[in-house]
Amino acid sequence: MKDINILMIGVGGQGTVLSSDIVCDVALAGDADVKKSEIHGMAQRGGSVVSHVRIGAKVLSPVIPVGEADIVISFENMEFLRYPEYAGKNTSLVVNKYRIYPPSVAGGQETYPAEQTEETKKAFKEVFEIDAMKTATAIGNSKVAGMVMLGKLAALLPFDADLWRTVISKKVPPKTVDMNLAAFNAGYQF
């Protein structure tokens, strides 16, 4: 199996940690080795959350080397700007169009970096932009937006979609399985 490095970035409460846990469980169930590392920056207060997930035949370190992310998945529209050093010329970007304004922007001290965000997207090999919040809301609950994002990521990885669905069914609360699977399936179709 080719090594795959995935940098998963979001804001506290978007499901970044759960999503990275699911990626790891799918990789293990798919007979791959996987290592993961997380950093939570005041996640409970809307701070940045980042997970490094490395998949391969034998993974020795949980931290992605600088410039070697194969996929960056940004659960918020600008979060990928915080970790540009991990992207290289062959990195794909999966980004949620949804914006969460940091306190400095909401308070008027700074402006949302919309132009910088659009300009930086040009550096990626390919960009998949998803309005995960709109899709999740249409499904019936905005809280499953992270699962929409995970669905798109799953479509880019070499594991069977049914394996993903099995793992998701075990990882989310039982009463939310149907809604999470609907969100996953919607993201998988993007």
- What pLDDT score does 51 carry? 96
Q: Which of 86, 96, 153, 156 is nearest to 123 (CA)?
A: 86
Distance CA 24, CA 34 (A): 6
Q: Residue 41 is which amino acid?
A: G
By the 8 A CB rule, do 105 and 81 touch? no
CB 4 within 8 A of CB 71: yes
2 or 150, higher pLDDT: 150
128-144: average pLDDT: 97
**HSE of 108, CA atoms in CB hemisphere, 13 A:** 0
- Cβ contact 149:19 at 8 Å: yes
DSSP state of 38: E
Query: What CA–CA distance (Å, rounded) separates 6 from 148?
Result: 17
12 pLDDT more than 70: yes
User: Comparing C-alpha atoms, which of 99, 97, 185 is closest to residue 147?
Assistant: 185
The helix/strand/coil state of 100 is coil
* Residue 52: strand pairing partners: 7, 37
Please tell me the distance from the alpha carbon of residue 175 to that of residue 154, in angstroms, as a whole number.
23
What residues form DSSP beta bridges with 30? none
pLDDT tens digits, one per residue of 70-88: 999 999 999 999 999 999 9
CA distance 161 to 148: 13
40-44, 49-53, 58-62, 143-147: least confidently modelled range: 40-44
Beta carbons of 71 and 156 less than 8 angstroms apart: yes
**Bridge partner list, 92:** 71, 126
Nearest Cα to Cα of residue 183 among 96, 91, 53, 121: 96
The predicted pLDDT at position 35 comes to 97
